[in-house]
């Protein structure tokens, strides 16, 4: 069955010469043939640069505790395409996914459409079969011309942290935070808009200015909701409905508290009857793949023995900043193995990492658009203790891990996928 799925997916990839072609005409045409399924679903849309997936996972976990049935559309997938297609709280199995793809492929009838667009049409078509479910929809690149941006209405739009990424899709003079904020937030629907903590006041002010004329009910981090960390392993969430003393979530990283607070703010502003105990239980049961994920068993874990092994798909400078804040909170030696795509700001990315014992660059073998590990090492030459190794296994074996040391593998979601597959 895996082969059958692979064959359909490779046909999907040949329907359009470009991987991304920012426009809404093709997806609208196909969805029209499908009976505009996107008009018959209840959705929470999530846009932003960092934290989209984590925020969706937190919302999903809380909704499940409150016995809601959810569908979710996320991208990219880490290990298999099924991760992008969640219906009734479960990933779609291979057989059902192949049937869905086949049906949409036949209806599309070889019309040009990008890979992401046809996958999005498949999702909407299936989602419309569950009209009572809540759909959690992660926007792809930017949002204004993103295939997910064809809903007529939604329950809410969530804006996670926005920063500079995917700059190669913008003209040189447009590679600014103002332009990125415009692309991501200027076409948000009229419903409710929940805005997460941003990395700078400038970005938050820019978002407020861009959505100023949008008549939605707006909820901003700091103005309308916030959180603080308590002494005895709890955190305190507060909004206009009051405060909540919450257990620490089951996922690592202080920055995840921002994503979880945004998830809580979204659900508390939606009037769905979510109770405090649903939130308390939900945030301790969040599943998170390749986001500060600790690997506790498997082939690669055996190589690091008793040392802690963490995988994180962070790949832009704002992600590097929050990842380094997490590393700074740990009292141990940190070793980093890193692979990256060619179009990233490599020097800026690595500049955030302080007090790191060693950095090992590797090749990202599955991705033709990645930067060669030797070239990456050259870009990192101002960092102490940088070396190159051709593979993940050789990198791990080459690092002199002492008792209590941490090994982090980061720089790319594709790299994280390679690690998880190998493990």
pLDDT for residue 61: 98
State mean pLDDT over 397-406. 95
pLDDT for residue 191: 97
Share of the chain above pLDDT 90, in %: 81
pLDDT for residue 169: 56
pLDDT tens readout for residues 2-49 = 788 999 999 999 999 887 787 899 999 999 999 999 999 999 999 999
Whether residue 177 has pLDDT greater than 80 = yes
State mean pLDDT over 310-332. 91
Whether residue 79 has pLDDT greater than 80 = yes
Whether residue 362 has pLDDT greater than 60 = yes
pLDDT band at residue 160 under the 50/70/90 scheme: very high
Question: What mean pLDDT, rounded, does the chain reach?
Answer: 93
Whether residue 57 has pLDDT greater than 80 = yes
pLDDT for residue 343: 87
pLDDT for residue 214: 97
pLDDT for residue 336: 97
Whether residue 133 has pLDDT greater than 90 = yes
pLDDT for residue 290: 87
State mean pLDDT over 249-269. 93
Whether residue 378 has pLDDT greater than 60 = yes
Which CATH superfamily is 293-422 part of? Mur ligase, C-terminal domain (3.90.190.20)
pLDDT for residue 368: 86
Please tell me the pTM assigned to this model.
0.90
pLDDT tens readout for residues 164-174 = 665 555 667 76
Tell me if the domain spanning 2-282 has CATH number 3.40.1190.10. yes
State mean pLDDT over 128-146. 92
* Bigger pLDDT: 64 vs 382: 64
- List the domain boundaries for the chain: 2-282, 293-422
SS3 track for the chain: CHHHHHHHHHHHHCCCCCCCCCCCHHHHHHHHHCCCHHHHCEEEEEECCECHHHHHHHHHHHHHHCCCCEEEECCCCCCCHHHHCEECCEECCHHHHHHHHHHHHHHHCCCCCCHHHHHHHHHHHHHCCCCCCEEEEECCCCCCCCCCCCCCCCCEEEECECCCCCHHHCCHHHCCHHHHHHHHHCCCCCCEEEECCCCCHHHHHHHHHHCCCCCCEEEEECCCEEEEECCCCEEEEEECCEEEEEECCCCCCCHHHHHHHHHHHHHHCCCCCCCHHHHHHHCCCCCCCCCCEEECCCHHHHHHCCCEEEECCCCCHHHHHHHHHHHHCCCCCEEEEECCECCCCHHHHHHCCCCCCEEEECCCCCCCCECCHHHHHHHCCCCCCEEECCCHHHHHHHCCCCCCCEEEEECCHHHHHHHHHHC
* Bigger pLDDT: 174 vs 208: 208
pLDDT for residue 167: 56
pLDDT for residue 231: 77
Share of the chain above pLDDT 70, in %: 98
pLDDT for residue 274: 97
Whether residue 232 has pLDDT greater than 60 = yes
State mean pLDDT over 92-116. 96
pLDDT band at residue 253 under the 50/70/90 scheme: confident
State mean pLDDT over 63-86. 96
State mean pLDDT over 90-103. 96
């Amino acid at each position: 069955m895996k082969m059958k799925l692979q064959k359909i997916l490779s046909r999907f990839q040949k329907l359009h010469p470009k991987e991304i072609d920012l426009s809404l005409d093709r997806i609208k045409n196909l969805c029209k043939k499908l009976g505009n399924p996107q008009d018959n679903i209840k959705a929470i849309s999530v846009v932003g640069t960092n934290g989209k997936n984590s925020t969706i996972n937190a919302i999903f976990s809380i909704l499940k505790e409150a016995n809601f049935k959810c569908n979710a559309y996320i991208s990219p997938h880490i290990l298999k395409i099924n991760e992008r297609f969640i219906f009734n709280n479960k990933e779609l199995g291979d057989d059902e996914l192949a049937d869905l793809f086949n049906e949409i492929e036949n209806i599309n009838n070889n019309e040009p459409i990008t890979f992401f667009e046809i996958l999005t049409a498949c999702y909407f078509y299936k989602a419309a079969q569950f009209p009572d479910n809540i759909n959690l929809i992660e926007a792809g690149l930017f949002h204004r011309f993103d295939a997910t941006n064809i809903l007529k209405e939604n329950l809410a739009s969530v804006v996670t942290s926005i920063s500079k990424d995917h700059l190669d899709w913008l003209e040189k003079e447009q590679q600014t935070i103002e332009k990125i904020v415009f692309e991501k937030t200027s076409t948000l629907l009229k419903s409710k808009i929940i805005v997460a903590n941003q990395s700078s006041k400038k970005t938050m002010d820019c978002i407020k200015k861009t959505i100023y004329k949008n008549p939605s009910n707006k909820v901003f981090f700091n103005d309308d909701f916030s959180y603080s960390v308590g002494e005895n392993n709890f955190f305190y969430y507060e909004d206009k409905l009051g405060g909540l003393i919450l257990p620490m979530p089951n996922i690592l990283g202080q920055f995840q508290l921002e994503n979880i607070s945004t998830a809580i703010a979204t659900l508390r502003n939606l009037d769905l009857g979510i109770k405090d105990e649903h939130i308390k239980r939900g945030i301790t049961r969040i599943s998170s793949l390749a986001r500060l994920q600790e690997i506790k068993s498997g082939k690669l874990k055996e190589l690091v023995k008793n040392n802690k092994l963490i995988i994180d798909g962070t790949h832009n400078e704002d992600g590097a900043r929050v990842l380094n804040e997490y590393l700074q909170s740990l009292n141990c030696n940190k070793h980093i193995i890193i692979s990256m795509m060619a179009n990233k700001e490599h020097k800026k990315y690595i500049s955030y990492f302080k007090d790191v014992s060693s950095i090992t660059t590797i090749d990202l073998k599955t991705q033709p658009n990645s930067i060669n590990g030797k070239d990456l090492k050259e870009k990192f030459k101002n960092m102490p203790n940088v070396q190159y190794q051709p593979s993940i296994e050789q990198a791990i074996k080459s690092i002199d891990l002492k008792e209590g040391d941490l090994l982090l593998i980061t720089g790319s979601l594709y790299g994280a996928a390679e690690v998880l597959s190998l493990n």
